[in-house]
């Protein structure tokens, strides 16, 4: 088994020997030569990305393409086999204050005995540092963040008493609480109601208007071009990236999804017919 994985590694192109390209330091997220492997099997290979400031960026690709892994590697949550990801020119450890992360909803236990407001207040913990309690100002701010996602009336509810969409909004409010410049969101639209989806889109637009950058892992091809203005097509490698209109092409999608696209295409086609 080990031999096999070694062999499969050997078939990948050797590391480039060219000098590292200089990224302008103002780029919110610059990734160079990033490779991530689980149990010696590569999940991401040689990722090279420059995410421009103020864009709503969709990350699209089939299951197992490494979309979540890409976000986690940028956040130092999983080790990088090689390469780096810089946030405004700095490694993550020195740029924590610039990044907010919205994990997948299933990543936590929603039966945990805390209220919605408690969870949002966690977004202030880095500012507070070790030992210091949540202050009155931070609590008021947390309530304001809940208001921005439209559920401030649920602030005192224990989180298991919220619907899936409301739980997702709590996570978004927590990210807002972090006051970041770059937002990394892992499938915020997964299994939410229509009202929540609208609220999230409105919020993303607002963040983008404020010059913040949002990277959003997304599944629904039908909404890609309406929600996002920049696109990263990912399937272990970056298949294509650039402005949404020019990147979201049949050819690029074919390359990203391979044979699986046909089915998706048919679904999208059917959807287009019902809308028109």
Can you tell me which of 10, 17, 130, 276 binds another protein, judged by CB under 8 A? 130
> How many angstroms separate the CA atoms of 37 and 232, rounded?
20
CB-nearer residue toward another protein: 132 or 205: 132
- Pairing status of strand 29-38 against strand 41-51: antiparallel
Q: Give 142 or 238: the residue with its C-beta nearer to another protein.
A: 142
Q: Is 56 left (phi over 0), alpha (psi -120 to 50) or beta?
A: beta
Residues 247-266 that bind another protein (CB under 8 A): none
Q: Are β-strands 182-186 and 99-102 bridged in parallel, bridged antiparallel, or unpaired?
A: parallel
Q: What is the DSSP code (8-state) at residue 276?
A: -
Site mask for another protein (CB under 8 A), range 28-67, x = bound: -----------x----------------------------
By the rule CB under 8 A, 133 interacts with another protein: yes
Task: Among 158, 223, 225, 254, indicate the residue that binds another protein (CB under 8 A).
Answer: 158
Residue window 4-23: x/- pattern of binding to another protein, with contact defined by CB under 8 A: --------------------
Do the beta carbons of residue 107 and residue 72 sit within 8 Å? no
Binding to another protein (CB under 8 A) within 72-111 occurs at 72, 75-77, 96, 99, 101, 103, 107-109
Backbone dihedral region for residue 208 (phi beyond 0: left; psi -120 to 50: alpha; all else: beta) = alpha
């Amino acid at each position: 088994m080990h031999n096999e994985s070694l062999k499969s590694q050997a078939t990948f192109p050797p590391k480039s020997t060219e000098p590292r390209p200089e990224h302008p330091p103002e780029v919110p997220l610059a990734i160079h030569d990033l490779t991530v492997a689980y149990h010696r099997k590569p999940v991401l290979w040689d990722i090279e990305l420059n995410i421009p400031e103020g864009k709503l960026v969709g990350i699209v690709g089939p299951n197992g393409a490494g979309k979540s892994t890409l976000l986690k590697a940028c956040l130092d949550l999983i080790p990088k086999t090689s390469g780096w990801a810089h946030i405004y020119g700095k490694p993550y450890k020195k740029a924590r204050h610039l990044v907010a992360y919205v994990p997948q909803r299933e990543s936590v236990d929603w039966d945990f005995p805390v209220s919605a407001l408690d969870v949002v207040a966690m977004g202030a913990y880095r500012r507070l540092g070790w030992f210091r309690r949540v202050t009155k100002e931070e609590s008021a701010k947390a309530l304001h963040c809940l208001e921005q996602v439209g559920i401030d009336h649920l602030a005192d509810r224990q989180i298991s008493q919220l619907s899936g969409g409301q739980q997702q909004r709590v996570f978004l409010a927590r990210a807002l609480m972090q006051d970041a410049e770059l937002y990394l969101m892992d499938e915020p639209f997964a299994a939410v109601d229509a009202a929540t989806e609208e609220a999230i889109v409105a919020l993303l637009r607002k963040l983008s208007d404020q010059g913040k950058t949002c990277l959003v892992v997304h599944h629904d091809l039908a909404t890609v071009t309406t929600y996002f203005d920049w696109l990263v097509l990912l399937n272990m490698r970056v298949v294509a990236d650039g402005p949404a209109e020019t990147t979201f092409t049949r050819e690029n999608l074919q390359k990203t999804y391979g044979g699986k696209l046909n089915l998706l295409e048919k679904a999208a086609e059917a959807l287009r017919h019902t809308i028109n």
